[in-house]
Structure 1
Amino acid sequence: GWRLPILRAMAGEEINSIVARLNDLARENTTALVGCYAGADQFGHLTDAIELLQTAPEALLPAVTPPSAAPRPITGAQTAPPAGETLAELLDRMRSRQPVTEGDPLPAALANVLGDGVPAATQADAHARDEADADEAEYGPATPAGPDPLPQWAEAEETASLEDAGAPTVQEYKRDYDGADELEEDDDDLPAQRPRVAEYVSAGLRAATQWFAHLPLAAARDSFDRGLKSLGTSVGGASRRLAGHMLPEHDSDPEFSVSQSTLAAIAIATPALIVMLTTTIYIQLGITRQFRTYMDGAQFAAAQARTASDAFAAAPSWKTALEQLDQADLLRPTDAEAAQLRTEARAKLDQLSKVARLPVSDITPRGFPEQGRITHLLALGSPLYALEAQANSIYRAVQTAGGYQLDEGFKCSAGSINDVAVTTLVDMALFETPNFLNKEAIAALDPTGKLLICPGDNTPAHILPLAPPDVGWTAPTAFALFSNRLYILDAIGGQIWIYNDVSQMGASDAAEDSAKQPPLPLFGTQPIALQDVVDFTLAQGDIFLLHRDGRLTHCIRQTASNDPICTQARFQDDRPGHASGAQLTDLLTPAAILFFPPPEAAFYFVDTGIAGAIQASPSLTVQREIRPQLEPNQNLTAFGLGAGRQLLFAAGPRIFAGERP
């Protein structure tokens, strides 16, 4: 409510002509007038200027000029605006006018437009008044402690009555509360004299649209380019100064320049690098906290185990400690504290479960392939044979003063010989003498029922096709040679097939060649459920079938003409926490069963899950668990019996040996 009273005080009776002139110019020169006003750095008060300029005379003048207050005629000192006056001339004339008194407060918008023509005190009052208006708009009207400003229409009415009294002051536009009721009644009588809100909104939208269309975007781009150039100059100068200290004197002023694209890349990469470093630190801190959590859990479990009443009662706590250490090792595999606690926990459990951790040495033959997966091991005195599944080859190594050496002359691989092909090698065994070669050899089986015979003296290999059963082969997976008989396990077919007179196989007389005679079924004409059998072996004429769940089937055959009698074998396990019964519960992933002959006869149940084997007596009494001390990243893939007390282990393409406990 300050615009018209103050303009009237500044311009006197000429205010009507000035306002009319401003409105006439604003209709056709709004863009130029706003641009001029914005060019004077008055962006903070642009809204006030637009509101004043876009208000129609018919909306403003009747609201501030009561019927009783007729405008005075223009005197010589107050000349009317000349015809054809331009916007610039009008603004210059307004800037050149002096205010009536220095005590009259002006709005900051008008004070800034008038510039130096307004005294400093008046400008200060104007700014103070604008700040008060802003506070009232944001926080609401303050509780008055004195006179309250008049509304715009009341100020205009009172101003008209006081024009003859001389120059008005700010106090003359105030009122106290004694006349509040009367003024409110007058306010009710003049509702049509107040400016309409829709007109202000429409005018503001039009002015804002034009203002946005004239934004100095090109200048902003130029400012950004100048900033990049300044940054490049700073970086280049720093680089030259650094080079001047580091390089010889004649190269002390090298030219360095950094392109704007490089600077932009640096600006983008810097926050990304900061985020990456922050994330890394956060992850490391999280890993440390998680590691300590697992270690605290393992130490707490170990403390409980140490205070247990006996070793059996302490076993669950030691197992919990090992589980926590397994999680801790995933975060810090080489932590010394965790390794020490693991050694203690493992030793306690090993003692309780009769686990023998066997020290082993690497005996991998020199020249052996570095890649592969050994699935079967066999030692016949000095020679060592290894079946490598990926290459479908059997390698032979001989022992020398410097260890095992690969026998390059031994060739035994899947392929074709005399138009007969062997595909995949699934198992191997010693092909004892007497045989059709009259020499010791190694025999390997493929799934189509063919034997690959490889002599030990490095003479060429032979392929011996076997006559298939009357029902055909399904999927042979293992075989064994015992007492001049050949036993082939066809687990999916539910049968074990027997070839007699192995010594006559391959004989030149076809009538005597047992390989050309169909095999006999071990279980008669009625197959049994063998689908979960992973391996079998013969022990002193009895057949033992190892199932995937740790069960063992024992089959006894009284005569060759009778069907065998098969029963579920029973294990005797006296270890604390283990139960005797038809199943070895410690077996996780049974892979093979081997029998070591007398005088130290024993069964070995190979388990790749525990990376070892469970040793049992011929009466199936559990004696111990044998676990080779392999590296953490080495998984057991094969187990074999060597000469004497030697035990063989394979981990991928590597071979290890240890002494049986």
Structure 2
Amino acid sequence: STTQSVADGAAGSGIGQSITNAFLKLYLGLVSFLKSILPDSGIFRLPPSTMAFTAIAVPLTIVAVAAVVYFQRGREAQYNIHFTAAQEAGQIAETKTDPQEQRLSWEATLLHLNNAEIYMSTDESQELRLQAQGVVDTLDVIERLDFRPAIIDQLDETTQIIRLIVRDDGLYMLNGTDGVVGRAVLTDEGYLLDTTFQCGPGPYGGFIVGSLVDIAAMPPGNDLKATILGIDANGNLLHCIPGEIPVATPLEPPDINWGSPTKITVDDNDLYVLDPQTNAVWIYRGMDVSQAPRLFF
């Protein structure tokens, strides 16, 4: 009720005033004690407002420090509770011989470790996690692989790799965003981008090549020393050569002309071109692109 609320407010106000008065008395007592042992008492001639502020600020600071200590110790205590439970579950698991019971006990260990590491992670918790996860993986016939970024350099956030080719001389990546091929060379730390490599749309020797839609690895020892072959949607090929300017070559179109080539591959020195728009795969025997292709199927 309203009467009860007023009464509670008055009581709360009275309690707060009592606490403030108590801290003020404590502060004045402390000042009186320091005056008796310090040679210069002038430093304690403070205005009443400053004394009142100090009487409130000091206990609040003490409470804040105490809260920090409490939460730190509280987190450690919670960690110890869950980590002890994890250790006990692991000890039980080591006594089991039935695979299903082993799994349940080790999974319980992992669950307790998850709860413990909400509060903190230690060398002991990580070591127990490796042991528990290793046993569960063995029971599930799982071999975990160590994955890490292949490219040392940061790729642009707009990059969308739609085709990857790995060769002895490097890693080639077709970016679907701009139709440009990037090259990275292998180092001890990983693949490092080759900023000198050129392989993308543009004018080359009187031919205009559009955005590349697919790439294929070129056979070793080819006349142009190209490592990668690209194609645009108009049937133009681009031979990309590390350290040199690419060479463009237009494909001789089939009798029914191109629809929209989308894929290429090179096999046994023959070039295959997929054209979904005409529902056909065309083949250039011996990579002779100056002659019209044959219908493969």
Q: 1:285 aligns with which of 45, 49, 73?
A: 73
Match for 2:82: what amino acid? Answer: Y
Aligned AA (2:242): D
Q: Kindly report the root-mean-square deviation, in angstroms, between the aligned alpha carbons of the 2 structures.
A: 5.7
Q: 1:398 — aligned with what?
A: 185
In structure 1, how many angstroms separate the alpha carbons of the residues matched to 2:236 and 2:57? 66
Q: CA deviation at 1:262?
A: 7.8
- 1:286-365 matched pairs, under 5 angstroms: 286-333=74-121, 335-358=122-145
| Residues 192-211 of structure 1 mapped to structure 2, 5 A cutoff | none
**Structure 2 vs 1, CA of residues 259 and 408 (structure 1 numbering), >3 Å: closer, same or farther?**
farther
Give 3-state SS (helix, strand or coil) of 1:282's partner.
helix
Q: Is the 8 A contact 2:183 2:193 kept in 1?
A: yes
1:440 matched to which residue of 2?
227
Give me the whole-angstrom Cα distance separating, in 1, the residues matched to 2:51 and 2:249.
Answer: 74
Change (3 A) 1:449 1:332: farther
Give the match's secondary structure for 1:331: coil
Report the equivalent of 1:460.
Answer: 246
- 1:429 Cα deviation after fit: 4.9
Alpha-carbon distance change, 349 to 452 in structure 1, aligned in 2, over 3 angstroms? farther
Task: Say which is worse superposed, 281-290 or 434-443, in terms of deviation.
Answer: 434-443
CA distance in 1, matches of 2:125, 2:94: 17
CA distance in 2, matches of 1:420, 1:261: 81
Alpha-carbon contact 1:450-1:463 (below 8 Å) kept = no
CA distance in 2, matches of 1:258, 1:461: 87
TM-score (norm 2): 0.54
- Residues 1:401 and 1:352: Cα distance change in structure 2 (over 3 Å): closer
Relative to structure 1, the CA distance from residue 279 to residue 450 in structure 2 (aligned partners, 3 Å threshold; closer, same or farther) is: farther
Q: Is the 8 A contact 1:433 1:503 kept in 2?
A: no
Change (3 A) 1:258 1:314: same
Q: CA deviation at 1:405?
A: 5.3
TM-score between the two structures when normalised by the length of structure 1:
0.28
**1:276: Cα distance to partner?**
3.3
Alpha-carbon separation, structure 1, partners of 2:73 and 2:55: 28
Residues in 2 aligned to 1:314 and 1:349: alpha-carbon distance in whole angstroms: 8
CA distance in structure 1 between the partners assigned to 2:260 and 2:68 by the alignment: 64
Secondary structure, aligned partner of 2:172: strand
- Please say if 1:500 is aligned against 2:282: yes
Structure 2 CA distance for aligned equivalents of residues 508 and 289 of structure 1: 78
Superposition map of 1:22-41 within 5 A: none
C-alpha displacement of 1:502: 6.6
Contact 1:505 1:513 in 2 (8 A): no
Contact 1:486 1:500 in 2 (8 A): yes
User: Aligned partners of 1:355 and 1:405: how far apart in 2?
Assistant: 32
Asked if 2 retains the 8 angstrom alpha-carbon contact of 1:436 and 1:507, the reply is no
Residues 287 and 428 of structure 1: CA distance in aligned 2, closer, same or farther (over 3 Å): farther
Instruction: From the superposition, tell whether residues 283 and 438 of structure 1 become closer, same or farther in structure 2 (CA, over 3 Å).
Output: same
Cα distance change on mapping 1:441 and 1:370 into 2, 3 Å: closer
Judged with a 3 Å threshold, the aligned counterparts in structure 2 of structure 1 residues 439 and 386 are, in CA distance, closer, same or farther, namely closer
The one-letter amino acid paired with 2:92 is Q
Distance 1:409 1:400 in 2: 17
Q: Secondary structure at the match of 1:500?
A: strand
Counterpart Cα distance in 2 of 1:359 and 1:325: 22
* Contact kept? 1:431, 1:441, Cα under 8 Å: yes
Which runs of structure 2 are paired with 1:444-593 in the superposition (5 Å)? 453=238, 455-458=240-243, 459-460=245-246, 467-468=259-260, 481=265, 483=267, 484-486=271-273, 499-501=281-283, 507=289, 512=292, 560=297
Shift of 1:409: 1.4
Distance 1:315 1:428, change over 3 A: farther
The equivalent residue for 2:254 is: none
CA distance in 2, matches of 1:388, 1:421: 13
Q: Which of 417, 432, 457 in structure 1 is aligned with 2:202? A: 417
* C-alpha contact 1:485 1:498 (8 A) present in aligned 2: no
Partner amino acid, structure 2, of 1:457: P
Provide the residue aligned with 1:107 in structure 2. Answer: none
In structure 2, do the counterparts of structure 1 residues 342 and 380 end up closer, same or farther at CA, with 3 Å as the change threshold? same
Q: CA deviation at 1:332?
A: 1.7
Aligned counterpart for 2:195 among listed residues 408, 411, 416: 408
Secondary structure in 2 aligned to 1:384?
A: strand
Equivalent AA in structure 2 for residue 417 of structure 1 = G
Stretches of structure 2 that go unaligned for 5 or more consecutive residues are 1-23, 252-257
CA apart distance, 1:309: 2.1
* 1:279, distance to aligned residue in structure 2 (A): 3.2
Decide whether the 8 Å contact of 2:76 with 2:120 is kept in 1: no
Shift of residue 481 of structure 1? Answer: 3.5
Deviation at 1:441, TM superposition (A): 0.6
Tell me the SS of whatever aligns to 1:330: coil
Aligned to 1:40: none
Q: 5 Å matches for 1:617-636?
A: none
1:361 Cα deviation from its structure 2 partner? 8.7
Structure 1, unaligned stretches of length 5 or more?
1-226, 245-254, 470-475, 490-494, 515-519, 521-558, 561-661
- The aligned residue for residue 169 of structure 2 is 382
SS of residue matched to 2:117: helix
Amino acid at match of 1:430: A
Map of 1:151 onto structure 2: none
State the alpha-carbon separation in 2 of the partners of residues 337 and 307 from structure 1: 21
User: Percent identity at matched positions?
Assistant: 24
